[in-house]
Copies of this chain bind each other. A is one copy, B any other.
Amino acid sequence: MLDRVEDSPLYPLANPRSIALFGASNRGDSMGTSHLLSLLHLGFEGPLYPIHPTEKQVLGIKAYRDPGELPEVPDLALLVLPTRVVPEVLEACGKSGIRHAIVVSGGFREVGGEGVLLERRLKEIAARYRIRFLGPNCIGVANPHHRLNTTFFQFDGRAGYVGLASQSGSFVTQMFKFLDNMELGFSTAFSVGNEADVDIVDAMEYLGACPRTKVIALYIEGITRGRYFLETARSIVPHKPIVAFYAGGSGAGKRASFSHTGAMAGSDRVYDGAFRQCGIIRASSVTELFDFCWVLATQPRPRGARVIIQTHSGGPGAAAADACDRSGLQIPNLSSETKERLAPFVPPTGSLSNPVDMTYHKDPTHYFEELPRILLEDEGADMLLVYFLLPTQLVEQTLGRMGVPRDRIREETNKFIDEHAKAICALPGAHRKPLVGYTFRDLKERFILRLRSGGIPVFPEPARAARAMRALVEYARACGH
| Residues of chain A at the chain B interface (Cβ within 8 Å) | 28-29, 31, 106-107, 110-111, 154, 166-171, 174-175, 177-178, 181, 219, 221, 245, 247-253, 255-257, 259-261, 284-287, 309, 313-326, 331, 348-349, 351, 353-355, 357, 359-360, 362, 389, 393, 397-398, 400-401, 440-442, 460-464
Please name all residues of chain B whose beta carbon is closer than 8 Å to the beta carbon of A309 when the two chains form the complex: 256
Please name all residues of chain B whose beta carbon is closer than 8 Å to the beta carbon of A253 when the two chains form the complex: 318-319, 321-322, 325
Query: Given A401-B29, A463-B285, are A314 and B261 neighbors across the interface (CB < 8 Å)?
Result: yes
Task: Sample 24 A-B pairs with CB under 8 A, ordered by A number.
Answer: A28-B398, A29-B362, A29-B401, A31-B360, A168-B313, A168-B315, A174-B313, A175-B440, A177-B442, A178-B460, A248-B322, A252-B321, A252-B331, A253-B319, A253-B322, A255-B321, A255-B331, A256-B355, A257-B318, A260-B314, A261-B314, A285-B319, A285-B461, A286-B462
Contact A260 B318 (CB under 8 A): yes
Contact A168 B260 (CB under 8 A): no
A313 to B170, CA, bound (A): 7
A317 to B169, CA, bound (A): 12
Contact B255 A353 (CB under 8 A): yes
A326 to B285, CA, bound (A): 11
Contact B326 A357 (CB under 8 A): no
A252 to B324, CA, bound (A): 8
A326 to B282, CA, bound (A): 15
Please name all residues of chain B whose beta carbon is closer than 8 Å to the beta carbon of A257 when the two chains form the complex: 314, 318
Contact A107 B313 (CB under 8 A): no
Nearest-neighbor residue (CB-CB) of A309 within chain B: B256
A463 to B178, CA, bound (A): 15
Please name all residues of chain B whose beta carbon is closer than 8 Å to the beta carbon of A261 when the two chains form the complex: 314
Nearest chain B CB to A108 CB, angstrom units: 9
A389 to B324, CA, bound (A): 34
A355 to B245, CA, bound (A): 19
Contact A440 B286 (CB under 8 A): yes
A323 to B245, CA, bound (A): 11
A28 to B403, CA, bound (A): 10
Contact A286 B255 (CB under 8 A): no
Please name all residues of chain B whose beta carbon is closer than 8 Å to the beta carbon of A355 when the two chains form the complex: 256
Contact A351 B259 (CB under 8 A): yes
Query: Given A175-B440, A462-B285, are A318 and B248 neighbors across the interface (CB < 8 Å)?
Result: yes
Nearest chain B CB to A251 CB, angstrom units: 6
A315 to B313, CA, bound (A): 40
